[in-house]
Amino acid sequence: MSDIVLRPCTRDEYHEFFREYEPDPMMDPHPYRYQRTHVDHCFDFDEMRKSDSPIFGIFENGRIVGTLSLSRMDHLAHKCEIGIVLQHDGCKNRGIGTKAMKLGLELAVGQYNMCHIWADTMGHNKRMQHVLEKLGFELRETICGVYDLPSGKEDRLVYCWEVQA
Ligand SMILES: CC(C)(COP(=O)(O)OP(=O)(O)OC[C@H]1O[C@@H](n2cnc3c(N)ncnc32)[C@H](O)[C@@H]1OP(=O)(O)O)[C@@H](O)C(=O)NCCC(=O)NCCS
């Protein structure tokens, strides 16, 4: 397994991620067109809200291959949400997502003192469900038909991972 690291990314690395980004057809059937100005705005926006919703680059052997977010951090309730996206199919199914999610959980607990970490995914995203369940997330709720996709309505599955007492 190659070396996987999670760390904040620079503006240039953020651009590098989006320059080669291809949406997963399972999540978004529309092609993505890289636009430098738009990506700049997104980077500025992410920077602005990084105190409660930090975003990290996922690096494989020094090259950015994905992003992982810890969002809506609630420091009183010690809870947040975790989200992940890899750059394109060439990065997927090689163990990177599982390793990055493990690092994300460690970061959420160790650096931000979070105890309850929520994640959600779509009913047909069996790969993400498998990754979440492998890492010890529990399915807490299924909200039927909330996503409107060209292929039809999709369920939202809500998972939670908790620090063991
Ligand atoms: C979901 C995602 C983060 C997973 O990362 P990844 O690096 O591709 O996943 P990994 O290689 O670490 O693990 C995939 C696991 O799912 C399994 N898997 C793959 N396709 C599957 C399917 N259709 N059904 C069930 N399991 C599947 C693999 O066998 C592997 O399991 P194993 O490690 O027990 O052998 C990544 O594919 C991705 O970015 N997808 C697009 C965006 C997305 O779906 N984000 C999550 C939105 S909520």
**Mutation test of ligand 1: which of 55, 93, 120 has the most ligand atoms closer than 8 Å to its C-beta?**
93
Going by pLDDT thresholds of 50, 70 and 90, the confidence category of residue 145 is very high
- CA dist 112 and 79 (Å) reads 10
Looking at residues 115-135, what average pLDDT do you find? 97
Contact 126, 159 (CB under 8 A): no
- pTM: predicted TM-score of the whole model, two decimal places: 0.97
| Residue-range domain boundaries for the chain | 4-118
Question: 25: Cβ below 6 Å to ligand 1?
Answer: no
The CA 48 to ligand 1 mean position distance, Å, reads 30
Index of the ligand 1 atom closest to the CA of residue 125: 44
pLDDT at 1 over 70: no
The predicted-structure confidence for 146-158, as pLDDT tens digits, reads as follows 998 888 899 999 9
pLDDT at position 28, please? 84
CA distance 9 to 129: 27
Q: Fold for domain 4-118?
A: Aminopeptidase (3.40.630)
